[in-house]
Amino acid sequence: MKETRLTELSNPKSKTRAVRLRTSGASMERRADGTILVHADERLEDYPRVLTERLIHWARVAPDRALAAKRNADGKWRFLTYADALRKVRSIGQGFLDRGLSPHRPVAILSENDLEHLLLMFAGQHVGVPTASIAPAYSMLSTDFAKLKHVMNILTPGMVFVSKGLRYRRALESVVDPGIEIVFAEAPLPDRKSTSFDSLASTTATSAVDAAHAAIARDDIAKFLFSSGSTGLPKAVINTHRMLCSNQQMILQGFRFMGEEPPVVVDWMPWNHTAGGNHNTGMTVYNGGTLYIDDGKPTAEGIAATVENLREIAPTVYFNVPRGYEELLAHFRNDARLRENFFSRVKFMFYAGAGLSQSVWDGYRTMMDETCGERILMATGLGATETSPMALQCTWDCDQSGFIGIPMPGVETKLVPSGTKIEIRVKGPNVTPGYWKEPGITANAFDEEGYYKFGDAVRFVDPTDVNKGFIFDGRFAEDFKLASGTWVSVGPLRNRVMQWFAPYIRDAVIAGPDRTFLSMLVVPNLETCRLLAQQLSPNAAPAEVLRHESVTKKFTALLESFAAQATGNSNRVLRAILLDEPPSLDAGEITDKASLNQRAILDRRAALVDKMYAPHPSPHVLRIREN
């Protein structure tokens, strides 16, 4: 078969920063029933049995190189070298073995991203004791701890680690059995069976560590990662050693330059998610890189810490969510030192979690040209907690946002016609065997041929050329029919709403199942709305801001212009309400990835939805003339 060189798909008129990427394409097979199978032409190369084999390698080859770093309270970086990391991983692993920990008595981690957290994850993998990083929001933002209780009931942990004992005290006292050992990095809890992290990491490692490491099979459990719970309570996704190691080899074959120059990463993505906890941490140790743990967040307030870090550290690869890129863009425009340092050696910019607006994409392309005179690969892919995460990835230069690429080496993709859409399914060594203690849910997650069902739709960029890749086309669980029988594709419509109403909107929930027209509940950007209502006090309540005439006029005008460009009832939104009460984590309206649970919001706020469809709606309902 003739090799397809994906680099030939780049824009030939632009100068692209020279980096070695994947060069092979994909092939497809059409079945008589309309199903299409797509696979990479390049085979998946050999990969380690356990991820910490790479830690052992780099501790021998580059013992004094920093594996990770995090700022202390005084702002100075605290570094963890490869040699020191391996020594502590072995000591902690011995402590796990001494306590008889196992898949049925794993280690639950209640912590933000920090060096202790990283060592615990690698120690568990090294000796075959699974760990589970739990979303801090379950402990810190929740009031009833319902999700935390559910998670602990599934795990039955033999040890719980907390970064700061007093900070997690209320959650521990409410949920964790007093007989379970607590390991703390700082601030021990009184009256609890507890051990300091330093004490655990000082355990003398014996030959038992080496024996336990040697006994690990590829399909043994490496860790548990909990799904976000967007369609119910979180599920414990089994992550095997085969999944983690094969996926890192897929990533390396997609981005060959990481094998030539160890990656430098500045990253905030939480490790209870697969992007941060699998993709980014794994990519660092697999390729002998350095991870600078970023305490920033992709918010107007939290981005300042990220900016400070990026002024100092020039990453070679960079990861963020679209909101983070949006917040950074203004800082890049206003700070020459920041943008020059950032673009000095970055080779790949990855966005994940949601669609990146074309205006933000174009803004970065312009800035690349002005700052370094080169285009830098900026792309996304398709993956899930169940796929380790990378399954499909765009590894070539594109002229627009949203391309998710083609399957990675070793991944088999199945495209199944579903009405007017195409459902995507995958299988490969990076795919989970299922959910811990959930055989029924596991069975429903796979089809009769063993393909994992994302529940997502995709479409071809070019139906005549599979090597142009795919574009995400929404989630089937969110789509619905209007009373007329017209299908509404919620994902693509929501993305258009987000772009059209920027910068005054943070998110939107599309309403209208079995109704005659579409409406939406808007999560506003309160900061930009306050700028519209400048006459008000800076401390004015959200409801007062959102009902101010200047704000309602702006949203009504945007609603009218959005409807004017619609092509039919399936993408024409006629009414909206601005939410002055933000979505609630406790009520299940927000997942731990900070994304909206559309179904939960529509159910909980059904009264508001009814107001939008009232024959004579209240003044709080924004609307346009309906034909």
Helix residue ranges, H only, 115-238: 115-127, 137-140, 146-155, 169-175, 197-200, 207-215
User: What tokens appear for 445 in the block?
Assistant: 């997650």
Which of 297, 251, 289 shows the shortest CA–CA distance to 270? Answer: 297
How do beta strands 66-71 and 107-110 pair?
A: unpaired
Which of 288, 340, 280, 284 shows the shortest CA–CA distance to 310? Answer: 340
Q: Are 131 and 117 in contact (CB under 8 A)?
A: no
Q: Are 171 and 149 in contact (CB under 8 A)?
A: no
The per-residue pLDDT for 11 is 41
- H or E element, residue 49: none
The per-residue pLDDT for 4 is 36
Q: What is the pLDDT of residues 514-533, one digit of tens each?
A: 899 999 999 998 889 999 99
User: What tokens appear for 39 in the block?
Assistant: 């696979």
Q: What is the pLDDT of residues 15-39, one digit of tens each?
A: 889 999 998 999 999 999 999 999 9
Q: In Å, what is the CA distance from 274 to each residue of 383, 396, 405, 409, 541?
A: 9, 23, 19, 19, 37
Residue 437 CB contacts under 8 Å (≥ 6 apart), including other chains: 154, 236
What residues in the chain have per-residue pLDDT under 70?
1-14, 228-232, 353-354, 585-586, 591-595, 626-627
Helix residue ranges, H only, 343-425: 358-372
CA 231 – CA 600 distance, rounded (Å): 8
The per-residue pLDDT for 594 is 55
The per-residue pLDDT for 9 is 35
Using a 10 angstrom Cβ sphere, with 0-12 exposed, 13-18 middle and 19 or more buried, the burial of residue 2 is exposed
DSSP sequence for 491-524 = HHHHHHHHHHHTTSEEEEEEE-TTSSSEEEEEEE
Q: What is the pLDDT of residues 553-593, one digit of tens each?
A: 999 999 999 999 999 999 999 999 999 998 886 677 876 55
Q: Are 380 and 350 in contact (CB under 8 A)?
A: yes
Q: Are 258 and 287 in contact (CB under 8 A)?
A: yes
SS3 label, residue 396:
coil
User: How many H helices and E strands in the chain?
Assistant: 22, 29
Residue 103 CB contacts under 8 Å (≥ 6 apart), including other chains: 129, 130, 221
The per-residue pLDDT for 1 is 28
Q: What is the pTM of this model?
A: 0.87
CA 393 – CA 254 distance, rounded (Å): 8
User: Rg for the chain (alpha carbons), in Å?
Assistant: 25
The per-residue pLDDT for 5 is 36
Give me the amino acid identity at 322.
P
Strand partners, 39: 27, 412
User: What tokens appear for 509 in the block?
Assistant: 């929930």
